[in-house]
Amino acid sequence: MPTVPPSTRPAWWPHFNSTLRSTAVTARLGLVLGIAIGACFLTGLLSYFQYQAWEWLPPPASPVWGYRVTQGVHVATGMAAIPLVLVKLWSVYPNNFRWPPFRSVKRVVERITLALLVSATLVQLFTGFFNVLNWYPFRWDFVSVHYRLAYIVVGSLLLHVAVKLPDIVYGLQTKVAEGDVLTEIPWNENPESHSIAGPLPPPVTPGLSRRGVLTAAGAGIGVVVVTSVGQTLTPLEPIGLLAVREPSKGPQGVPVNRTAEEANVIGAASAPDWTLTIMGPKPYALSLAEIEEMAVHGARFPISCVEGWSANADWRGLRLLEIVERAGGTADSQIRVRSLEAAGFFNKTVIFGPQLSHALLATHLNGERLSVDHGYPLRLIAPNRAGAFNTKWLATIEFIS
Amino acid sequence: MKIWRILLAVVGIGIGTYGISQLLTQVPRQTLVLVALWLIGALIIHDGLLSPAVVGVGAALRRYVPDRGRRYLQFGLIMAAMVTVIAVPMIYRARTQPPAKALLLQDFGINLTVLLAAIGGGTLIAYAIRVARDRSVPGRPPPNQAHE
């Protein structure tokens, strides 16, 4: 295919002549990717809110499956976005080879913000996926970077949409087969791009068609989603060839995220003289035998992890609110529960508002006494609550207010 | 459209600046250096290694594989690449965790092989159907000859 290179362009400069790439293809991929990133961002913020809830707005307790759905969506869309972003970037790769490389200040500024968008998105998606795999080749605190990087991704994405809006509108309004040919030469300087060509017939795409590229990408992403989402969508667990977790294979039918060994609590948790200390206006203590005698309330809540896995379970135990009221508290109290675990971010958690009213101090899981990995002798479980904040191996209950 | 573009740009710059300032003020300096290295590394790996490799494969397919068969090969390869990119880190991480986590218990090498075989098999069947149909329509030349 002959081209019309700007006169100064060196002969060795790369030229892209595939007719598969088109603004019409890119705009469609970008639209879906934008929706996926938006869904990831919003569901991520919902989870972050549970991690840093405002005092005046307690996290809700209903629907009980709320956190399960939002974080299942977060991880599923994040995983789907990995192949999706790679195809999307394939479709615009020639734009990296515009000639001359530094044609204007405006263009250079755009390239810098694009570099930030692309690199932040890739790092965000891959480190998120690695976190789901409990793999930390990056040596930083995952949550604090993932949270801030999300704003950089979304901010630079909105800026990118603003810059490209005319192209996006053109791309979405044009039939896939008839759209311009996207090469390293901008369409408005390239008579062969077909978008300013007027009488030129639609570009020929021998081999796979543009629609075929979109279909293959959709099918590939579909396979990834269907075979991985079983970690939260229970009916699909049996076909979970790419499922990171298999919840039903966890002890007592529920996985754990932190084992008793990792928390170094096996000795303290199995001590027969374990007691639960309630430190309120009217402090008291409950022995293991008293706790087990009081554990008569049942509830069915899913336990749902920020890493995307979840499992519905039958719990039995004591109502936390009754314990709090006996110590002189009310449903408006702010309560902190502490684990036997000596240190770490998850050895204590604050619970207040509707989650306090609905929370159980559980002794039984799916009809059996809690195993030590699930928090024996006593753990917190509340509906619509981030899994990591359902503290295990409870030792004390304190009043903040 | 202009008002939308300005609005999007202003909101985008606002959110992005908030993220950058949060990162710079709330995260230890040592972490910032590592994050910066990862950001640059992601660009180098993607734009410098992965993309040229994909472009190279695409060019080789166009050069050596006839149009009719290439259509199916490209379709299968796109699907296979997407599944592989997710499966490879899982293969690497499989069976590294305590069993109670029910995390990465499977042999993902076998699972990836099954998925790739299914994709390859489906692609082959679709191609075989196409070849059979072309033969059954007398006088209709295969499309790769039609283009030449």
**Comparing B14 with A7, which gets the higher pLDDT?**
B14
Instruction: Count Cβ–Cβ pairs < 8 Å, chain A vs chain B.
Output: 239
- Does the pLDDT value for residue A96 go beyond 80? yes
pLDDT higher than 60, residue A5:
no
Q: Name which of B35, B86, B119 is nearest A83 (Cβ-Cβ).
A: B86
CB-CB under 8 Å, A138 with B34: yes
Establish if B103 belongs to a structural domain.
yes
Say whether pLDDT at A2 is over 60: no
What is the CATH superfamily name and number for domain A260-399?
A: Oxidoreductase, molybdopterin-binding domain (3.90.420.10)
**What does the pLDDT average to over A284-311?**
95
* Contact list, B103 vs chain A (CB under 8 Å): 133-134, 244-245, 255
Confidence of residue B146 (pLDDT cuts 50, 70, 90): very low
Please identify among residues 123-182 of chain A the ones whose CB lies closer than 8 Å to any CB of chain B. Answer: 123, 126-127, 129-130, 133-135, 138-141, 144-145, 147-163, 165-166, 169
Say if residue B140's pLDDT is above 80: no
**Most B CBs within 10 Å, among A25, A29, A88, A90, to test the B interface:** A90
Overall number of domains in chain B: 1
Q: What is the pLDDT of residue A9?
A: 86
| B contact residues 78-107, partner A, Cβ 8 Å cutoff | 78-83, 85-87, 89-90, 92-93, 96-98, 100-106
For residue B80, the enclosing domain spans 66-142
Residues 216-245, chain A, touching B (beta carbon < 8 A): 216-217, 219-221, 223-224, 227-228, 241-245
The answer to whether the CB atoms of B101 and A250 lie below 8 A apart is yes
- The CA distance from A391 to A296, in Å, is 20
Question: For A115-172, what is each residue's pLDDT tens digit?
Answer: 999 999 999 999 999 999 999 999 999 999 999 999 999 999 999 999 999 999 999 9
Residue in A139, A156, A241 closest to B115 by CB: A241
DSSP B143: H
Cβ contact (<8 Å) for A262 and B98?
Answer: yes
Report the C-alpha gap between A87 and A28 in whole angstroms. Answer: 11
Residue among B27, B51, B96 whose CB faces A144 most closely: B27
A97: closest chain B residue by CA: B47
Structure tokens at A205: 């795409």
Residue-level pLDDT at A205: 86
Residue B23 touches partner A, C-beta closer than 8 Å: yes
Q: Write out chain B residues lying below 8 Å of A169, CB-based.
A: 1
Residue A231 has pLDDT above 70, yes or no: yes
Residues from chain A contacting residue B87 (CB–CB below 8 Å): 242
The answer, yes or no, to whether residue B144 has pLDDT greater than 70, is no
In a domain, B36, yes or no: no
Average pLDDT, rounded, for chain B: 92
User: Which residue of chain B comes nearest to A151, CA vs CA?
Assistant: B19
A-chain residues within 8 Å CB-CB of B119? Answer: 223
Domain regions of chain A by residue span = 23-239, 260-399
CA A310 vs CA A72, A245, A256, B31: distances in Å:
8, 9, 10, 31
A388 touches chain B (CB under 8 A): no
Chain A residues touching residue B9 (CB < 8 angstroms):
158-159, 162-163
Q: Do A123 and B100 touch (CB under 8 A)?
A: no
Residues 304-333 of A with CB under 8 A from B: 309
A201-222: burial string, b at 16+ Cβ within 10 Å, e else: eebebbbbbbebbbebbbbbbe
pLDDT for res A31: 98
**What's the distance, CA B40 to chain centroid?**
20
Q: Given this model, what pLDDT does residue B94 score?
A: 94
Q: Does some domain include residue B84?
A: yes
Flag whether B138 is in a domain.
Answer: yes
Answer yes or no: is B77 within a domain.
yes
Q: What tens digit of pLDDT does each residue of B116-136 get?
A: 999 999 999 999 999 999 898
- Count of other CB atoms within 10 angstroms of residue A119: 25
pLDDT at site A1? 42
Beta-strand pair A360-365/A394-399: unpaired
Q: According to the model, what pLDDT value does residue A192 have? A: 80
- Count of C-beta atoms within a 10 Å radius of residue A10: 7
Q: pLDDT at position A7, please?
A: 64
Q: What distance in Å separates residue A148's CA from the closest CA in chain B?
A: 5
Query: Considering only A92-101, A323-332, B106-115, B138-147, which range has the smallest mean pLDDT?
Result: B138-147
Contact A279, A273 (CB under 8 A): no
For the stretch B43-99, pLDDT in tens is 999 999 999 999 999 999 999 999 899 999 999 999 999 999 999 999 999 999 999
Residue B46 touches chain A, beta carbons under 8 Å: yes
Put simply, whether the predicted model's pTM sits higher than 0.80 gets the answer yes
Please determine, for residue B147, whether its predicted confidence score (pLDDT) is greater than 60: no
A119 contacts in chain B (CB < 8 Å): 39-40, 42-43
